[in-house]
Amino acid sequence: MERALSVAVAQPRCVAHDVAANAVAHAEAVTAADARVVVFPEMSLTGYELDAVPVSPGDERLAPIVAACAATGTIALVGAPVPGPHIGVLAVDGDGARVVYGKVCLHETEAARFVPGEHAVIEVDGWRLGLAVCRDTGIPEHAAATAALGIDGYVAGVVHAEREAGLHGERARRVATDHGVWVATAAFAGPTGGGFDRTSGRSGIWSATGDLLAEAGPAPDEVARVVFIA
């Protein structure tokens, strides 16, 4: 029997440190995406602000995302600083949120504030999705260790500068062809912290052979979506 999984990558507008406002933007993206899984950029809930306060899974400000996921049957993979502290991923569905990943391959500036997590997989409807955040995708050993856990897809949230617009595609194609898995990368769009005054946008989804299947543009609030069949 065929299995289908609809996957979207979203790049919502973001206000630095304003979790409540950003949660509303995430909820709107979930509704617009019409997908079972929606992947968001690195630290999308706070902006790439390394001094942002970690967001706990029980934070009441996540309520708009929870409500949107309940209405659509979506699992949202939201970027945020999380307890640890980690640069993390929150899996949000209609029942609430949980921490599912902490970035493994930290930059030096990140390591001054955060601790590395561990390789991880989330299972959705029988599909196994390997998790990554930004620099992780550029470290071949990260993809190899994650693929060794048994995955169908590799999903990542990233922040890249405008001049790096092609970088996440290069990395996605390498992961796809090295490990025979599809890749979904949600890239930040619009200004954020850490010197990223102009970010790349252009979130994308690539096939297991490295072909680009769908891509958003450079502006905030855009979404790209693909349905995978197995």
What pLDDT, in 10s, does the model give residues 164-173? 989 999 999 9
Could you give the residue ranges of the DSSP H alpha helices within the chain? 19-33, 63-72, 108-111, 140-147, 167-179
Task: Calculate helix-pair angle for 63-72, 19-33, nearest 10 degrees.
Answer: 10
Q: Specify the pLDDT at position 202.
A: 97
Q: What is the pLDDT of residue 57?
A: 98
Check residue 194 and give its pLDDT.
87
Matching CATH number, 4-222, of 3.60.110.10, 3.40.140.10, 3.40.50.150, 3.40.50.720: 3.60.110.10
Span 110-148, pLDDT tens digits? 999 999 999 999 999 999 999 999 999 999 999 999 999
The pLDDT > 70 percentage for the chain reads: 100
From CA 9, how far away is CA 193, in angstroms rounded? 21
Is there a cis peptide before residue 85, judged by omega within 30 degrees of 0? yes
Amino acid at 69: C
On the CB side of 211, how many CA atoms lie within 13 Å of its CA? 4
What's the confidence (pLDDT) of residue 123? 98
Residue 87, pLDDT > 90, answer yes
